[in-house]
Amino acid sequence: MVTDITVPYPGAYRAVVAGTGSFVPAQTLTNEDFTRMVDTSDEWITTRTGIKVRHIAGESETTATLAAEAARMALADADMKAADIELIIVATITPEMVFPSTACFVQHMLGAHNAWAFDLCAACSGFVYGVATAREFVVSGRYKNVLVIGAETLSKITDYEDRNSCVLFGDGAGAVVIQGSTQGPLGIVYSSSSSDGGGWTSLNCQAYGSRNPVSRPLNDPKKIFMTINGREVYQLAVRRIVEMVEECLDRCHLTIDDISMFIPHQMNARIIESVAKRINLRAERVFINIDKYGNTSAASIPIALDECCRQGKIKSGDIVLIVAFGAGLTWGATVIQF
């Protein structure tokens, strides 16, 4: 076990991961299904992205229902009740509605009547931003138990006529309970968070907000869907993720060999493999499950983290590094000792 870790901004308490959970809809879309919808092939999608299947919300499933299912699992894993939670943060870019927040719907669904709740919009970096935010409330001693959820129904803003983007996305939710503690693992050791609003054109969904209100006809009806500049994002994502890993290792006085598990945002298997090569991380320490879910934006890291824990791939004392890059542009990384 690594014992010599620097905690750059220590507080009165440690913010530890007390439980994890995840949930995906039963309905799926396979690569084979896409060959009947757009001009594509299983071979193209598999070699260019690593994706085989994505889960798609059914008629009665919404971002909040997926989030609440994942949260129930995380609470059970932490052996806690909804009433124990004092704050709920839901990271999403596919909210239940314009307002109220998805987090308030989740609070009501869970019966978490002692919690306040808000949404966080940072696309694929949303969960990492959420964990960084939760940590500050917990290490200061303000709250003991915080629920952080990443949840998306990206299928609702996907253009299923655009082969460049439609094959990439899926729906799902993941959740963690962050708990204050004075002993045991160090928990969330360090977070690096960045934004560059100048890069908004690379990844966006332009309707309906105040720039393109629902009350006015759109100059382009496709603005209701996500648009991505995949090639541009690909290169930037690799560069920023490598920089963040180096920063985390440097600030915490760790080496790459100290990282037991690297859980990146599941954007593209080739991006992840390219990053792993550049940081000299062995394949068995890199978690990839994009084949089963596609890119689920804010949900991708907590789903992967939950799978990793349930598969016994994270042991007590292990150091896990989570990293994300997404629309905003936003990017963030967090070092966690379990």
- Catalog residues that contact ligand ACO under the rule CB under 6 A: 40, 44-45, 48-49, 123-124, 163-164, 167, 203, 228, 230-231, 233-234, 267-268, 295, 297, 326-327
Helix (H) or strand (E) holding 195: strand 187-195
Q: Per the residue annotation, which of 265, 268, 308, 309 is the catalytic one?
A: 265
Q: What distance separates the 2 farthest-apart alpha carbons in the chain?
A: 60
Residue 37 or 76 having the CB closest to ligand ACO: 37
Provide the minimum distance between the beta carbon of 173 and ligand ACO in the complex, in angstroms, as a whole number. 15
Residue 89 or 203 having the CB closest to ligand ACO: 203
Residue 57 or 112 having the CB closest to ligand ACO: 57
Q: Per the residue annotation, which of 124, 248, 252, 309 is the catalytic one?
A: 124
Paired strand residues for 330 = 195, 326
Provide the minimum distance between the beta carbon of 274 and ligand ACO in the complex, in angstroms, as a whole number. 11
Task: Round to whole Å and give the CA distance between 156 and 92.
Answer: 13
Burial classification of residue 264, based on how many CB atoms lie within 10 Å of its CB (0-12 exposed, 13-18 middle, 19 or more buried): buried
Q: What are phi and psi of 290, to 5 degrees?
A: -60, -25
Q: Which residue has the tokens 């709920």?
A: 88
Residue 146 or 298 having the CB closest to ligand ACO: 298
Q: Per the residue annotation, which of 31, 145, 268, 295 is the catalytic one?
A: 295
How is residue 126 written in tokens?
């949303």
Provide the minimum distance between the beta carbon of 53 and ligand ACO in the complex, in angstroms, as a whole number. 15
Which residue's Cβ has the minimum distance to ligand ACO? Answer: 230
Active site residue 295: yes
Contact 189, 336 (CB under 8 A): yes
Torsion-angle region of residue 272: left (phi > 0), alpha (psi -120 to 50) or beta? alpha
DSSP 227-278: EE-HHHHHHHHHHHHHHHHHHHHHHHT--GGG-SEEEE--S-HHHHHHHHHH
Active site residue 268: no
Active site residue 124: yes
Provide the minimum distance between the beta carbon of 205 and ligand ACO in the complex, in angstroms, as a whole number. 8
Residue 254 or 290 having the CB closest to ligand ACO: 290
How is residue 166 written in tokens?
């439609």
- How do 87-91 and 116-120 pair as beta strands? parallel
Provide the minimum distance between the beta carbon of 162 and ligand ACO in the complex, in angstroms, as a whole number. 9
Q: Is 331 helix (H, G, I), strand (E, B) or coil?
A: strand
Q: How far is CA 316 from CA 4, 158, 249, 280, 334, in A?
A: 16, 39, 20, 24, 17
Residue 125 or 179 having the CB closest to ligand ACO: 125
- Within 10 Å of residue 169's Cβ, how many Cβ atoms? 23
Provide the minimum distance between the beta carbon of 250 and ligand ACO in the complex, in angstroms, as a whole number. 27
Question: Where in the sequence numbering do the catalytic residues fall?
Answer: 124, 265, 295
